[in-house]
Amino acid sequence: MRTTAESVSSRIETTAEPIELSLVVPLFNEEESVAPLIDRIVAAMTGYAPRWELILVDDGSTDATVVTARSALTRPGLDLKIVALQRNFGQTAAMQAGITQAQGRLIATLDGDLQNDPKDIPGMVAELERRELDLLVGWRKNRKDGLVLRKIPSFIANRLIGRITGVRLHDYGCSLKIYRSSIIKQVKLMGEMHRFIPAWVAGVVPSSRIGEMPVTHHARQHGVSKYGISRTFRVILDLLSVMFFMRFKARPGHFFGSLGLGLGAVSALILAYLFVDKFIMGNDIGTRPLFMIGVMLFLSAVQMITTGILAEMIARTYYREDSAVSYIVREVYAGDAAHP
């Protein structure tokens, strides 16, 4: 028989208003920004009637980010949860950790550097519902960043990503996004793939259910940017990975096998020509470069085909392990907020 305390706890959980919206904010060395960020979020969500929660994910900060954030755990009316990762795993892993902890029907993500404006969130939620979308992406139409190091590389990357993935958006890099929880939780974020989230979501739902909306963008006020020009090269490498996974995620053997068959066909033509030249025409082929090319292409073809078989085996084994995660949580802090 359950105790009286257990019965009371059960009644409270049953009657509690379900969380409608979860706000997920990855943080890394943002001790000066986290307090004003919380203030801005609370002010922006004051007129939002449904129940909402705020999840701050500290990605292994080496400053006082967590200490500063914990001071808000007792703030009245704020449903705050702080997820502290064991070390720095990257923004994508931090975002995945927050999404996993989120309990809302909808999930909003934004940066913790005060460049995204929380005031846009209620309007984006309304726009997502009005257009019946599964993902609404913020578009920093009037972006407050440097032209050469940020705007131009971003413009090129957005065009390239849109052309390759088929999901054409003006701003893939904006962290301010609204998702339906049931959809984004079907997507497993790994590596540094957060900027390609719309492409990953397009693998779960039609691209027609992905939209964008102009949002406010502010210049960075505290700290330093975590990105530089080197990000451009990482984006190119990540884009190749996205293209591979979008087209060959469930059948990597087809990718490597196609390369192997192509190389094998070229090798067969070269060796057939040399066979005729040797045994019919009577010419010496032992020292000819073409002979070595034909042999190397044959070996490469065999290698590609066997790699494809191994890739199929690894993929089937790996994706069967649904419990694998790309981060480790050290502690989770939760406040006892009172909800109206």
In terms of Cα–Cα distance, which of 91, 203, 228, 230 is closest to 146? Answer: 228
* The 3-state secondary structure of the chain, one letter per residue: CCCHHHHHHHHHHHHCCCCCEEEEEEECCCHHHHHHHHHHHHHHCCCCCCCEEEEEEECCCCCCHHHHHHCCCCCCCCCEEEEEECCCCCHHHHHHHHHHHCCCCEEEECCCCCCECCCHHHHHHHHHHHCCCCEEEEECCCCCCCHHHHHHHHHHHHHHHHHHHCCCCCCCCCCCEEEEHHHHCCCCCCCCCHHHHHHHHCCCCCHHHEEEEECCECCCCCCCCCCCCCHHHHHHHHHHHHHHHHHHCCCHHHHHHHHHHHHHHHHHHHHHHHHHHHHCCCCCCCCCHHHHHHHHHHHHHHHHHHHHHHHHHHHHHHCCCCCCCCCCEEEEEECCCCCC
φ, ψ dihedrals at 312, nearest 5°? -60, -45
| Averaged pLDDT for residues 67-81 | 94
pTM, rounded to two decimals: 0.73
Reply yes or no on whether the pLDDT at 233 is more than 50: yes
pLDDT interval class at 172 (50, 70, 90): confident
What does DSSP say about strands 135-139 and 210-214: parallel, antiparallel, or unpaired? parallel
Q: What is the pLDDT of residue 150?
A: 62
Using alpha carbons only, give the angle 138, 141, 145 rounded to the nearest 5 degrees: 100
pLDDT interval class at 2 (50, 70, 90): very low
pLDDT digits (tens, 9 = 90+) for 114-135: 999 999 999 999 999 999 999 9
Q: Please tell me the distance from the alpha carbon of residue 284 to that of residue 274, in angstroms, as a whole number.
A: 9
pLDDT interval class at 337 (50, 70, 90): low
Q: What percent of the chain stands above pLDDT 70?
A: 83
| Poorest-pLDDT segment among 14-23, 63-72, 149-158, 161-170 | 149-158
| Averaged pLDDT for residues 50-75 | 95
Higher pLDDT, 155 or 68: 68
Reply yes or no on whether the pLDDT at 175 is more than 60: yes
* The 3-state secondary structure of 250-297, one letter per residue: CCHHHHHHHHHHHHHHHHHHHHHHHHHHHHCCCCCCCCCHHHHHHHHH
CA–chain centroid gap for 54, Å, is 19
Q: Please tell me the distance from the alpha carbon of residue 282 to that of residue 119, in angstroms, as a whole number.
A: 82
Q: Please tell me the distance from the alpha carbon of residue 55 to that of residue 24, in angstroms, as a whole number.
A: 5
Q: Please tell me the distance from the alpha carbon of residue 261 to that of residue 87, in angstroms, as a whole number.
A: 44
